[in-house]
Amino acid sequence: MIVVGLGPGDFSRIPRTVADLLVDPATTVVVRTIRHPAAEELASRRPVLACDDLYEDAERFDDVYDRIVERLAALDEPVIYAVPGSPLVGEFAVAKLRRWAAAEGRSLEIQPAESFLDVLWATLDVDPFRDGFQLLNGHEMPSPLVLDKPTVIGHLDTPLVLEDVCDRIDRSLGEEAEVVMAVDLGTSAQRLVRAHPDAIDRQLAGLRTSMFVAPQPAGLIGAVLAMRRLRQECPWDREQTHDSLVRYLVEESHELIDAIAGLTDGPGRWPAYSAIEDELGDVLLQVLFHAAIAEEAGAFGIDDVGHRLRHKLVRRHPHVFGDVEADDAASVRRNWDEIKKTEKTGEAGSLLDGVPGGLPALARAGETQRRAAAVGFDWSAAGPVLAKIREELDELEADLTDPPRAEAELGDVLFSVVNLARHLGVEPELALRRSTLRFEERFRAMEAIGPLPGLSLEELDARWEAAKRATAGEA
């Protein structure tokens, strides 16, 4: 069996040796699709067997490729399988065919051909060796989308796929984005359309449509490069050290927590998501800042951070990347804690080893409780925890006149409340922040009604109830 490419356009672009093979009446010619200028012309010269029918009832493209291999395997030799462009660029059925031939001991010859990329380079005056490039599949866009070099996106065969790709490019590059839509390359109908992704006509989508983007580095890579430049050119950024940045990491982390606390269900969640996106960027800035300083010291760079993180994720999730069984979240947590404990000490130590002492009190209490619960040292449900809270409140009430004892008993109350939050699946830090935000909103509403100084407690309570109704939309 011979696999050949039909090139990017008309039959006239096909090399003579390949053209002679295709028109030889002694061969059976199978084309992946008849919807290609060279395939249509070939079909006008001789009988061909097309595979377009295999696309009609298949749920996945992978199923189509399997069926193409099955169809080719059932034919008597000599068989020529002809594909658009080059058989070595974006032809997934060819890859499956090669594996089949190797497994069956069948002879398979592949003749390279001109691809749409060759025409694109010539048309746009791009040297991929000089400039570098990446080739992406519009049906399987990567996440994160890294646009740090000239990029070609193919398989833009439907308006829906093109819509998704344009949206991804727009979000990554923003107002600076300009793309080149290449349609019907290698034919007399060839055209190039340059525009912002928002302005691209989605009807340009088709089997012979691709997109070219030559961006300034954007997204995560753009942020990394911007951080490196700031370290070189900004006097303030140059002066920063790991120690001087600690306060900003703490501040930005708490601002992110505040943004998350504002996230609620319903239509109002999108502004909160915008705030979370912004604050995540500020936290990421701190990560990039520390990595840039470490890279200058010859210690590690941001790639090393990502590499180490990936290995840690794989190592701590053997139920995903290995053969360990974990049927529920509790099992995953137990596995995680055991693996993490061994990583830190080299041998089994205390379950409480590694709980950061600098965590906020609520977070440290919750993490300590979770680790104790890993061995079953925990209440079975929320009900007994409520009873424990009532017990601790009684003990606090008995010691109200003894400040040291009252402090200890109040701590026990708070510790038990954190335990209840854990059983309810509530993050106590967020719950308290959201309650504080509600209080602030109602108190400001009280102030909006009129001045507060001089009011009696009864009048303040009445004002509070009015504010509650107003903020709940009842007034």
Mean pLDDT within 239-266: 87
Q: What is the pLDDT of residue 98?
A: 93
Looking at 103-117, 197-211, 257-271, 345-359, which range is the least confident one? Answer: 345-359
Residue 475 has pLDDT above 50, yes or no: no
Instruction: Report the chain's mean pLDDT, rounded to a whole number.
Output: 88
| Residue type at 383 in one-letter notation | G
Q: What is the pLDDT of residue 171?
A: 86
For residue 462, name the pLDDT band (cuts at 50, 70, 90).
very high
Mean pLDDT within 259-273: 77
CATH number of 2-114: 3.40.1010.10
Residue 246 has pLDDT above 60, yes or no: yes
pTM value is 0.58
C-alpha 50/C-alpha 72 separation (Å) is: 11
Give the domain ranges of the chain.
Answer: 2-114, 118-216, 220-316, 350-426, 431-471
Q: What is the pLDDT of residue 266?
A: 66
Mean pLDDT within 361-389: 86
| Residue type at 80 in one-letter notation | I
Residue 320 has pLDDT above 50, yes or no: yes
Q: Is 115 helix (H, G, I), strand (E, B) or coil?
A: coil
CB 419 within 8 A of CB 385: yes
| Residue type at 416 in one-letter notation | S
CB 94 within 8 A of CB 109: no
Continuous H helices in 329-427: 329-345, 361-373, 382-398, 403-424
Mean pLDDT within 20-46: 93
> Superfamily assignment of 118-216 in CATH?
Tetrapyrrole methylase, C-terminal domain (3.30.950.10)
Q: How far is CA 142 from CA 136, 137, 145, in A?
A: 8, 9, 5
Q: What is the pLDDT of residue 346?
A: 53
Residue 348 has pLDDT above 70, yes or no: no
Mean pLDDT within 7-36: 92
Q: What is the pLDDT of residue 347?
A: 55
Beta-carbon contacts of residue 210 (< 8 Å; ≥ 6 apart): 116, 120, 152, 153, 154, 156, 181, 182, 185
Mean pLDDT within 177-200: 91
Mean pLDDT within 50-57: 89
Residue 44 has pLDDT above 90, yes or no: yes
Looking at 58-72, 87-101, 251-265, which range is the least confident one? Answer: 251-265
CATH number of 220-316: 1.10.287.1080
| Residue type at 96 in one-letter notation | K
293 forms bridges with which residues in the sheet?
none
Residue 350 has pLDDT above 80, yes or no: no
CB atoms near residue 333 (< 10 Å)? 15
Q: What is the pLDDT of residue 39?
A: 94
For residue 373, name the pLDDT band (cuts at 50, 70, 90).
confident
Beta-carbon contacts of residue 49 (< 8 Å; ≥ 6 apart): 28, 29, 30, 31, 71
Q: What is the pLDDT of residue 267?
A: 64
CB atoms near residue 319 (< 10 Å)? 15
For residue 474, name the pLDDT band (cuts at 50, 70, 90).
very low
Q: What is the pLDDT of residue 349?
A: 66
CATH number of 350-426: 1.10.287.1080
**C-alpha triplet 231, 234, 240: angle, nearest 5°:** 55
CB 162 within 8 A of CB 138: yes
Q: Could you check whether 220-316 and 350-426 share the same CATH topology? A: yes
Of the candidates 430, 144, 446, the one whose C-alpha atom is nearest the C-alpha of residue 272 is 430
